[in-house]
């Protein structure tokens, strides 16, 4: 294990330096080209499967599980929440663009008026507040987690379509990029050490998933009905490198999600799937 950790920590040479003069599309293509060069037999769209795209047996297991997913009851619970009217009689669909369908791939988005990145979860909470309901906590899997397990499936098949327009949006993108590449915690790891420099390599029995495609399939169900959202996974990763995590919905995590989502532009969304 010590050798593995040293290898992970030492391979931050390809992408470890954050180029101040790079633009978002140059950043994205640098990552795409790097991964495609390393994995020439993997089609671009197959990155939606994460580490499963590099393990035929695991992908076969995934396909079998997704035929009869054990977590379908949770998604159906989210559908019920989505369709249950607020106290004023209105629904989520009435206060969202296109009734909430085929929109999740546009989020996160930088809102100039608010001066910050707005996530899909923020959109849900804005809808709730405007209709006289209390906002949900990002970290509450029984409310926000369950609701988004259904709400994001309404955009399945939509290609990720994140925009970075203007200097303020660029600043937020660059902040997310910095978080991705910056070493942190007692183990001195960055997100990039595992999910770019060592992506598709094995860590013990598991394959490290590539950053490309990571933002398109959350929430995920790990094991049976263990629901995990993207920012909940951020918290877990920070803890694993022995860094005190932010609260979900923090500026740093929202900007990180903005960066990761942009990197996956062009990949189709497929939410609420099985992961190991």
| Residues noted as catalytic | 237
116-118 and 202-203 strand pairing: unpaired
C-beta atoms surrounding 83 within 10 Å: 11
Distance CA 251, CA 216 (A): 20
Distance, in Å, from the CA atom of 178 to the CA atom of 193, rounded to the nearest integer, reads: 13
Please state, in angstroms and rounded to a whole number, the distance separating the CA atoms of residues 14 and 233. Answer: 24
Residues in the chain: 276
Please compute Rg for the chain using Cα positions. Answer: 18
Are 258 and 205 in contact by the 8 Å Cβ rule? The answer is no
202 three-class SS: strand
Structure tokens at 75: 């998604």
């Amino acid at each position: 294990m010590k050798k593995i950790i040293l290898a992970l920590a030492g391979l931050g040479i390809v992408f470890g330096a954050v180029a101040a003069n790079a633009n978002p599309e140059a950043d994205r293509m640098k990552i795409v080209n790097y991964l495609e060069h390393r994995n020439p037999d993997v089609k671009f769209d197959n990155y939606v499967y994460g580490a499963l795209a590099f393990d035929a047996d695991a992908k076969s297991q995934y396909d079998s599980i997704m035929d009869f997913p054990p977590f379908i009851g949770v998604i159906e619970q989210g559908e019920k929440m989505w369709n249950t009217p607020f106290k004023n009689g209105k629904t989520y669909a009435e206060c969202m663009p296109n009734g909430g369908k085929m929109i999740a791939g546009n989020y996160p988005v930088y809102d100039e008026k608010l001066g910050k990145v707005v996530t899909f979860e923020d959109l849900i909470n804005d809808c709730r507040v405007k209709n006289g309901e209390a906002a949900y906590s990002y970290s509450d899997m029984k409310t926000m987690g369950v609701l988004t397990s259904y709400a994001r499936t309404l955009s399945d098949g939509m290609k990720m379509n994140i925009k970075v327009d203007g200097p303020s949006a660029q600043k937020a993108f660059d902040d997310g990029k910095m978080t991705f590449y910056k070493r942190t915690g007692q183990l001195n790891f960055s997100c990039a050490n595992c999910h770019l420099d060592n992506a598709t390599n094995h860590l013990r029995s598991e394959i490290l998933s590539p950053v490309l495609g990571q933002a398109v399939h959350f929430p995920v169900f790990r094991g049976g009905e263990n629901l995990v959202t993207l920012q909940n996974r951020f918290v877990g990763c920070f803890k694993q490198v022995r860094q005190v995590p932010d609260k979900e919905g923090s500026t740093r995590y929202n900007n990180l999600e903005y960066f990761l989502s942009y990197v996956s532009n062009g990949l189709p969304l497929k939410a609420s799937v099985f992961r190991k």
